[in-house]
Structure 1
């Protein structure tokens, strides 16, 4: 395992992707930065993390030996890895907000961005980018954000936390490589935010509606029980779960 530590970079995902285009990367090559100037989240969202107070890192994972019909399993692996690392630290009221945000007491503390390389219709590798709010205490204009320090009152060692997440990531990728997809999906759904509870959603047209999250499909679509007791599937571009 190789860890590349940077003081500042545009994006750890982008840096690792550029590095992979020039060199053959070892499995679990990690890029960690004290500050990202162009940190990204899902759907192009900006990940605004204060320098030197949070974990912002990306992990290269070779997927060439794994025949994976549903790449969303990588998102499940990443979500469970962060969840379990935080659970070991007794962070309270953890949940996974679909597709892969980690919440504590309904506040977002972690975002995950996965970018994969596909060649000849086969998954070759993935870059798992993780942004975890650790010791930051002020979040301007982000009312639903929090950090481990705000939640617990403790200051955390970023290096120890990084290694803890990587340890969980390796363990869950082993489960994936063993083909235990149902186990991973069941555990992910167990921690799913607002599962089986009436919730408000906004669709791509801006319309608000009520539904109940039931499960996630193998392809990663959210399955919601809507009016007339119909199950309807949504991808990430089609639906927003409102807090």
Structure 2
């Protein structure tokens, strides 16, 4: 018997700014697929899958997903929203804020938080992550993974204490069509406001950040940088108060956090 598809592409296309959609039952990586086809599709184009077998996070880390997880990639022309390559770190924050606002429609906002540069947390556990990738043409691919109706008990053991799904919090199944439509609508609004909203983006991110009053360690290539979280600057870089002063770091991964 053919698997019933829980995602309604006709509704998604009708109610959002997405122009075209690919829906797969199973795919290795929505971002990899989007990067392959990005020159051929009318934008915004959405790549959706019910099962992702080789999802990627930042630094080529694996992104675990299972039945009930929402994984997708969105192909955009950043020039349509006056977004230059130098703005891509801010685009990551904007996408994170769109996810944060979307999830607040389903769970209390005070239970949510954001972690630089690309994670959304629910009750101090990771519920969503994103990965933005670029190609030479004026295209960006925004990959998103959301733990919606999946069970973290089915995840690798090392994720049991650090991840959560929305449904595990609400104790009720969530309509993934509703969630995706909310997100795409919120993201469209964020993108349209982008050129005049850089200060507002960083202000909102800092309000939602889970890193306040924390001493953190960031790995940037071969460098390890330690300091106290000092907010986000207008380029989307994280600011750290170090022994030698305040520095801004535009890329990297937080590998250690300590509450002070």
TM-score by structure 2 length?
0.81
Structure 2 residue aligned with 1:170: 188
Secondary structure of the equivalent of 1:64?
helix
In terms of mean alpha carbon deviation, does 139-148 or 79-88 score higher? 139-148
Counterpart secondary structure, 1:15: helix
- Give the aligned partner of residue 156 of structure 1: 174
Say which SS state the counterpart of residue 35 (structure 1) adopts.
Answer: coil
RMSD: 2.2
Aligned 8 A contact 2:98 2:190 in 1: yes
Partner of 2:132: 114
Aligned pair 1:220/2:236, yes or no? yes
Deviations, residues 51-74 of structure 1 (Å, cap 9, x unaligned): 3x0110011111134252422121
| Residue of structure 2 aligned with 1:79, choices 91, 96, 99 | 96
Match of residue 44, structure 1, among 60, 83, 107: 60
Query: Which residue matches 1:232?
Result: 247
Aligned-pair CA distance for 1:118: 3.7
Correspondence for 1:59: 74
2:43 corresponds in structure 1 to 27
- Runs (4+) off by over 6 Å: 205-208
In terms of fraction of residues, the more helix-rich structure is 2
Once the two structures are TM-superposed, the CA of residue 233 in structure 1 deviates from its matched residue by 2.7
Distance change (3 Å), C-alpha of 1:186 and 1:202? closer
CA distance in structure 2 between the partners assigned to 1:77 and 1:67 by the alignment: 11
Partner of 1:17: 35
- 1:186 & 1:233 partners in 2: Cα distance? 16
Does the 8 A contact of 1:16 with 1:60 survive in 2? yes
Alpha-carbon distance in 2 for matches of 1:200, 1:214: 10
The whole-number CA distance in structure 2 between the counterparts of 1:207 and 1:117 is 29
* Total equivalences in the alignment: 232
- Equivalents in 2 of 1:70, 1:14: separation in Å? 22
Q: Which residue of 1 aligns with 2:6?
A: none
Name the counterpart of 2:165: 147
Structure 2 counterpart SS, 1:18: helix
The 8 Å contact of residues 72 and 218 in structure 1, kept in 2 or not, is answered as no
For residues 166 and 149 of structure 2, the distance between their equivalents in structure 1, rounded to whole angstroms, comes to 6
Unaligned runs of 5+ in 2: 1-17
CA contact (8 A) 1:213 1:224 kept: yes
- More moved, 141-150 vs 79-88: 141-150
Per the alignment, do residues 173 and 206 of structure 1 end up closer, same or farther by CA in structure 2, a change over 3 Å counting?
closer
| 1:201-224 alpha-carbon deviations (Å, 9 max, x no partner) | 255669795x32112234433211
Question: Are residues 1:187 and 2:204 paired?
Answer: yes
Q: Output the CA distance in 1 between the equivalents of 2:64 and 2:33.
A: 17
Alignment correspondent of 2:214: 198
Deviates more, 1:66-75 or 1:28-37: 66-75
